[in-house]
């Protein structure tokens, strides 16, 4: 199975080339060769291991549908671009799904649950047992994200990708790779095989959702210590000062934050990362939840399902996915700017723009579910199509490109 994962989903680091239909090329910051065939399918060949080749195929968003959705917006009885960024998001969803109706009827949030060995270093005020307890609440559909998703008519899919317990809570999908990661100050958090298995779990969850008719997905996570792992990964990928992007997580004291930063700095000194060495960074200081969500992002691109990102952990996973498989970001929608300082920098690096700026830090996918509700509200305008001709008013003319 691991060999199959490597062949299907392997990613890498270094410098590669993007080859378009005109045979022109430019550098990409991953070890990938990328070919676009005549049907618009992007094919990647890249490496995680020196001895293993792999591929991922992505069909580019449909630009004709994107243009058609924009034309639909412009025909409605409202000022041009009056709904701002939401109009852009709708053109993106239409282009990704290939459907100008912008289908939002079936939505789900995929919540990756996993523990992190770095908790041994006292970087959280909570113990690992909390991860199991919250996942158990998700299984009973009583956690915060479940209550909010019910209002948004969305399904919650909690997945045990690495909870530090022998059993998986009832109502939670069992995709356990291991019982948590290792303490990354002592050894790499994950083996390559473990990270790849978690990525595969994420990709396969999207495939299952696609088969079940889901047209819009969101990312969520639960795992004590995962703001430490996400800050460590982000600092290495962005090659920036740890203190500049590390926050208090679920509520550290000032002294606790300084300790958290020191732990991450010690790990960076230990591993001596190159920011281009994406997969090694993920394996060394990442988490199984981050790897799983990376797979969800890649899966959205592979199966043509737009993915709404939640907070900082989801953003880090998205950056890993984009660095491994360039082009994934075209399938991603940013819901909000988390109050964790890394979030804004990562979203800027990805070139995606968050809609909500509410200083959110609950996790579980709650910010993304809030976004679901906003999209449904906007769809009431798009779907019901009150046009200028309906109200006998001359349409606005567009003088600039969208």
DSSP output for 157-203: EEEEEE-SSSSPPTTSEE--SSSS---TTTS-SS-HHHHHHHHHHHH
Reduce the secondary structure of 308-345 to three states and give it as a string: EECCHHHHHHHHHHHHHCCCHHHHEEECECCCCCHHHH
Contact 323, 30 (CB under 8 A): yes
Query: Hunting for tokens 């050894």 — which residue is that?
Result: 187
Contact 340, 361 (CB under 8 A): yes
Contact 302, 206 (CB under 8 A): yes
Q: Which two tokens stand for residue 91?
A: 């053109």
Reduce the secondary structure of 55-95 to three states and give it as a string: EEEEECCCHHHHHHHHHHHHHECCCCCCCCHHHHHHHHHHH
Which residues are known catalytic residues? 364
Contact 150, 202 (CB under 8 A): no
Separation in Å, CA 35 to CA 38, 49, 55, 96, 328: 10, 21, 11, 19, 15
- Nearest to 229, CA basis, from 263, 256, 255: 263
């Amino acid at each position: 199975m691991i060999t199959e994962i490597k062949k299907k989903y392997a990613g890498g680091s270094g410098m590669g080339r993007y080859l378009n239909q005109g045979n022109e090329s430019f550098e990409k910051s991953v070890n990938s060769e990328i070919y676009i065939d005549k049907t618009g399918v992007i094919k990647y060949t890249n490496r995680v291991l020196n001895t293993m080749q792999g591929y991922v195929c992505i069909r580019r968003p449909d630009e004709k549908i994107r243009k058609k959705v924009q034309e639909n917006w412009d025909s409605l009885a409202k000022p041009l671009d009056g709904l701002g960024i939401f109009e852009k998001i709708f053109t993106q969803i239409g282009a990704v799904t290939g459907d100008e109706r912008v289908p939002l009827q079936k939505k789900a949030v995929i919540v990756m649950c996993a523990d992190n060995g770095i908790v041994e270093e006292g970087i959280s005020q909570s113990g690992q047992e909390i991860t199991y307890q919250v996942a158990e609440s998700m299984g009973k559909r009583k956690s915060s994200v479940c209550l909010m998703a019910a209002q948004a008519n969305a399904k919650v899919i909690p997945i045990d990708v690495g909870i530090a317990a022998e059993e998986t809570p009832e109502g939670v999908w069992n995709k356990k790779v291991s019982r948590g990661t290792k303490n990354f100050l002592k050894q790499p958090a994950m083996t390559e095989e473990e990270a790849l298995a978690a990525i595969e779990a994420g990709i396969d969850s999207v495939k299952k959702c696609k088969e079940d008719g889901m047209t819009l997905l969101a990312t969520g996570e639960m795992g004590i210590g995962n703001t430490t792992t996400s800050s460590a990964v982000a600092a290495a990928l962005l090659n920036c000062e740890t203190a500049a992007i590390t926050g208090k997580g679920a509520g550290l004291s000032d002294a606790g934050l300084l300790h958290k930063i020191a732990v991450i700095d010690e790990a960076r000194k230990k591993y001596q990362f190159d920011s281009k060495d994406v997969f090694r960074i993920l394996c060394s200081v990442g988490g199984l939840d981050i790897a799983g969500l990376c797979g969800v992002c890649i899966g959205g691109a592979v199966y043509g399902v737009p993915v709404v990102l939640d907070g900082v952990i989801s953003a880090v996973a998205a950056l890993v996915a984009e660095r491994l498989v360039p082009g994934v970001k075209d399938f991603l929608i940013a819901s909000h700017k988390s109050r964790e300082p890394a979030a804004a920098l990562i979203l800027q690096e990805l070139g995606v723009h968050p809609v909500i700026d509410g200083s959110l830090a609950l996790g579980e996918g709650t910010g993304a579910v809030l976004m679901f509700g906003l999209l449904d509200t906007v769809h009431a305008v798009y779907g019901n199509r009150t046009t200028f001709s309906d109200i006998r008013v001359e349409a606005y003319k567009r003088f600039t490109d969208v």
